[in-house]
Amino acid sequence: MSSTDETIANLLREERRFAPPEDLAANANLSADAYEHAAKDREAFWAEQAERLSWDTKWDQVLDWSNPPFAKWYVGGKLNAAYNCVDRHVEAGKGDKVAIHWVGEPVDDTRDITYAELKDEVSKAANALTDLGVAAGDRVAIYMPMIPEAVVAMLACARIGAPHTVVFGGFSADALASRLDDCQAKVVVTADGGYRRGAASALKPAVDEALTKTDVVEKVLVVRRTGQDVAWNDDVDVWWHDVVDGASAEHTPEAFDSEHPLYVMYTSGTTGKPKGILHTTGGYLTGSAYTHHAVFDLKPDTDVYWCTADIGWVTGHSYIVYGPLANGVTQVLYEGTPDSPERGRWWKIVQDYKVTIFYTAPTAIRSFMKQGSEVPDRFDMSSLRILGSVGEPINPEAYVWYRHVVGGDRTPVVDTWWQTETGSILISPLPGVTHGKPGSAMTPIPGITADVVDDEGRSVPNGSGGYLVVTSPWPSMLRTIWGDDQRYVDTYWSRFKAQGYYFAGDGAKKDEDGDIWVLGRVDDVMNVSGHRLSTTEIESALVSHPKVAESAVVGATDPDTGQAVVAYVILREEAGDGGPEIVKELSDHVRTQIGPIAKPRQIMIVPELPKTRSGKIMRRLLRDVAEKREVGDTTTLADSTIMDLISAGQATST
């Protein structure tokens, strides 16, 4: 058996089942008949969901799929995303309701922001951006810590129709520069720094450095968060408190076309260059609002919601900013790391704010599991009623621990499968309906049709594995890759062109009941702590080092991070053995090229790489070595002795 088959077999031996709590089921937002209702007339169902939003002009047509795979949803409709997330709640008399309980990392550094205050802040920032020369259609990059101004900046962009591109604060200056360049960002919003692990961590220097590598940016708007020293260029840099605080809080939101670009989010693909995933307004907002309502059984008047993602990832976009705020809930926004100043920080926040819905990633759950239940047991978390998981397959043990220790055995766990590209959750249990199976994302939610298919695109029978596909368009789907329609078509729609299916890039299995178990990527994309990294992107970073001739990167199974980056490197002849510091040198190089998240767990200097006769690197074999397994079939190698050399090197490397 291959290791994947073994994993599947182990997973399917999982027989624990968790029924929804009775009171939750009785009062659930969605009941079992929602599936049938949605399936009967999908477009009518999605029209109903779009009614959650306030439209300035109603659409004439729900879906235009006349030019696949280029979709248009709610054709002819006009709306403003920021109005939907903020103003309308104030107009409905909820201005005094807390929108954001912000918790800074330093203890007692907190701020509560009501919807009325948020409306003023967003309006001021919209006026300030307009004064800086930003017009509808211009791109604005956001490179910020988890502070309220990050949310304000996103909504201000949406309000004036300027698509934002949020770049995760952990990305390096180089990674930031390439994104600024790709989407031609006119303005960058950043901060002097943010608090991470008990210390002020600088952000602005990376922006300064990025600006030496690209000349597209005209202005940098800087929030003072930590008060640390910053370099200042009067021609470019502007303090947020100088231009936003004094701006008018009056701003009339303009209604934009339903298909007006809302944001671009860069994500790793199978080639070196990150893809700018484009989301537009009406369909995206419908998808994020509906799924947030349905999957988390959201009761906006009583729930306190907390999603621990960073706004630099899609989860932060859909499930911190757009979905929750469109639904008018009260939520927690936390700046820092889970263990600062002590290991119970997250649980203390749950206790203090009486969080009812909590959404996090398996990698975090695994790290808490490792610490044991003693820390969470010190806190009163009885307010929790629903737990969510996203980013990678959740191991059954982690699921059960999460439910038991964090959720006190009361709370359903919703294992939500989706992607940057899908914009919102597509496959997930419904907390009031589904009998959850630990490790399974279960079924497509009402309104979504997905399947597991074989190489020819045929639906596989229950009990078999294959590729995960989405079989009909959905409102929050990506519209294209920024500036590269052809890559959009090739990446997602060419694999199952005949069937017209969206190819997600994930492998999956249907169990005997037809429920879906997502197994992970089938392409050269790794998932490290829930973050998507491309093998090619890291290989390119390594090869850009002057001592490196060639490299191959694989994602090896890792108990903490899901997968970990393992790199094999051939040095250039003139570099000799690279010197005693070579591994550290290369590791630091990847860090500056991409960011700390891409740092390899292990770098091995090797004399050769295993290649087929046509020159393709056989990563499968390298994965065997990295995972310390017996090396698989080497008969297609051009030189079959190579694996012996590499394995011998592995045995002696530290």
Cβ closer to ligand WTA: 368 or 517? 517
Q: Check residue 436 for interaction with ligand WTA (CB under 6 A).
A: no
CB of 638 to ligand WTA, least distance (A): 31
Stretch that binds ligand WTA, among 145-153, 324-332, 501-509, 553-561 (CB under 6 A): 501-509
CB 488 within 8 A of CB 478: yes
Give the relative orientation of helices 33-40 and 42-50 as an angle to the nearest 10 degrees: 110
Please identify which residue in 121, 237, 506, 558 interacts with ligand WTA, judged by CB under 6 A.
506
Main-chain phi, psi angles of 168, to 5 degrees: -55, 135
Q: Check residue 505 for interaction with ligand WTA (CB under 6 A).
A: yes
Q: Check residue 610 for interaction with ligand WTA (CB under 6 A).
A: no
Burial class (CB in 10 A: 0-12, 13-18, 19+), 430: buried
Cβ closer to ligand WTA: 313 or 488? 313
Q: In whole angstroms, give the CA distance from residue 346 to residue 352.
A: 10
Answer yes or no: is 455 a known binding residue. no
Q: Check residue 551 for interaction with ligand WTA (CB under 6 A).
A: no
Answer yes or no: is 130 a known binding residue. no
Q: Check residue 416 for interaction with ligand WTA (CB under 6 A).
A: yes
Q: Is 496 helix (H, G, I), strand (E, B) or coil?
A: coil
For the segment 330-369, give every residue that binds ligand WTA (CB under 6 A). none
CB of 421 to ligand WTA, least distance (A): 7
Q: Check residue 441 for interaction with ligand WTA (CB under 6 A).
A: yes
Which run of H or E residues covers position 357?
strand 357-360
Cβ closer to ligand WTA: 226 or 315? 315
Taking the CA atoms of residue 334, residue 336, residue 341 and residue 343 in that order, the dihedral angle to the nearest 10 degrees is 80
CB of 1 to ligand WTA, least distance (A): 22
Cβ closer to ligand WTA: 323 or 610? 323
CB of 602 to ligand WTA, least distance (A): 22
Please identify which residue in 390, 469, 618, 622 interacts with ligand WTA, judged by CB under 6 A.
390
Residue 483 gets the label, from left (phi > 0), alpha (psi -120 to 50) or beta, of: left
Answer yes or no: is 529 a known binding residue. yes
Please identify which residue in 94, 164, 532, 623 interacts with ligand WTA, judged by CB under 6 A.
532
Q: Check residue 168 for interaction with ligand WTA (CB under 6 A).
A: no
Stretch that binds ligand WTA, among 32-40, 281-289, 418-426, 481-489 (CB under 6 A): 418-426
CB-closest chain residue to ligand WTA? 420
Answer yes or no: is 196 a known binding residue. yes
State the binding string over 302-321 for ligand WTA (x if CB under 6 A, else -): -----------xxx------
Q: Check residue 160 for interaction with ligand WTA (CB under 6 A).
A: no
Q: Is 634 helix (H, G, I), strand (E, B) or coil?
A: coil
Q: Is 570 helix (H, G, I), strand (E, B) or coil?
A: strand
Count of CB atoms within 10 A of residue 596's CB?
A: 11
Please identify which residue in 292, 403, 509, 521 interacts with ligand WTA, judged by CB under 6 A.
521
Q: In whole angstroms, give the CA distance from residue 654 to residue 602.
A: 9
Q: Give yes or no for a cis peptide into 20 (omega within 30° of 0).
A: no
Q: In whole angstroms, give the CA distance from residue 280 to residue 299.
A: 26
Cβ closer to ligand WTA: 468 or 541? 468
Q: Check residue 430 for interaction with ligand WTA (CB under 6 A).
A: no
Cβ closer to ligand WTA: 202 or 460? 460
Q: Check residue 266 for interaction with ligand WTA (CB under 6 A).
A: no
The CA-atom distances, in angstroms, between 31 and each of 20, 36, 87, 295, 448 are: 11, 10, 31, 11, 16
Burial class (CB in 10 A: 0-12, 13-18, 19+), 632: middle
Answer yes or no: is 532 a known binding residue. yes
Q: In whole angstroms, give the CA distance from residue 314 to residue 519.
A: 20
424: its two tokens: 């919102």
The DSSP line for 117-166 is HHHHHHHHHHHHHHHTT--TT-EEEEE--SSHHHHHHHHHHHHHT--EEE
Q: Which residues contact 276 (CB under 8 A, 6 or more apart)?
A: 165, 179, 182, 183, 264, 265, 266, 481, 482, 483, 484
Residues in the annotated binding site: 196-199, 315, 391-393, 415-420, 506, 521, 529, 532, 543, 545, 548, 591
Q: List residues binding ligand WTA (CB under 6 A).
A: 267, 313-315, 390-393, 415-420, 441, 504-506, 518, 520-521, 527, 532
Residues in the annotated binding site for CoA: 196-199, 315, 529, 591
Residues in the annotated binding site for Mg(2+): 543, 545, 548
